[in-house]
Amino acid sequence: MRVGIYSGSFDPIHTGHAMVANYCAQWGNVDEVWLMVSRLNPLKEGTEPTDGLHRLRMAKLVAENCRGVKASGFELSLPLPSYTYVTLCRLREQFPEHDFTLIIGSDNWANFGRWRDAHKIIKEFGIIIYPRPGFDVPNDPPHGVEVLGNGPTAHISSTFVREAMADGANINYFVPAVVAEYIYEHGLYKQ
C-alpha cells in the first residue's frame, strides 16, 4: 500500500489541513494519508507546541471524518530533533509492507532545500506537492516529485487560529467543528 505522510505540528489542525488530507486521500495517487503529528519542527526554533497528545487527539477527530485518512502519533515517540527523513526511515523499518511518500504544501517546497537530508527524502521516498496560495509549484519537477493539480486551497494557518483564540475570537469554520469543540472543552490556546 502506498501511504502519503502528511506531517506537521497541527497546532491546531485546521480546515486547510483537513482539506489537503481529504483531497490527497482521494486524488493524490496514494492508498491512505497518515496525519503525522510532529513533536517539534527544527526550523521553528523558539516555539513550544501544545502537548502532543492534544494535537494527536485533534488530528484523530479530523481523520475520523475523512475516508482513507488516519492520524498517527508515531513521531511523538521518536527522539528529538524531529527530522522528517529519520521519521520516514523508521516508518519504513516498522511497516515494511507499505511504501511511504511525503506530502508537503508548496509553501514547504519553497524552503525544502533547508530540510535535513532533503535529497534523500526525494530519492528514497518521493514527494507529493500540494499547491498553496502565494507559493509556486515547480513547472518541471525533479524525478521523485509529483505536483497535484488544482486542489482546493485556503488562506489559514495554525498561528492565526492560536492568535484568534488568545484574542477571544470565534474560530468556527477556521477549524473543523469537532476540533473547535475539543479546543473549547480543553481550554487550549487561551492567553
Cα separations in angstroms, 160 against 42, 88, 111, 156: 20, 29, 21, 7
Q: Could you tell me the pLDDT band of residue 43, with boundaries at 50, 70 and 90? A: low
Rounded to the nearest 5 percent, the helix, strand and coil shares of the chain are: 40, 20, 45
How many other CB atoms sit within 10 Å of the CB of residue 27? 11
* Calpha distance 16→175 (Å, rounded): 8
What rounded mean pLDDT belongs to the chain? 93
Of the chain, the percentage scoring pLDDT greater than 70 comes to: 95
How is residue 120 annotated by DSSP? H
pTM tops 0.85: yes
Band (pLDDT 50/70/90 cuts) for residue 181 is very high
pLDDT band at residue 35, thresholds of 50, 70 and 90? Answer: very high
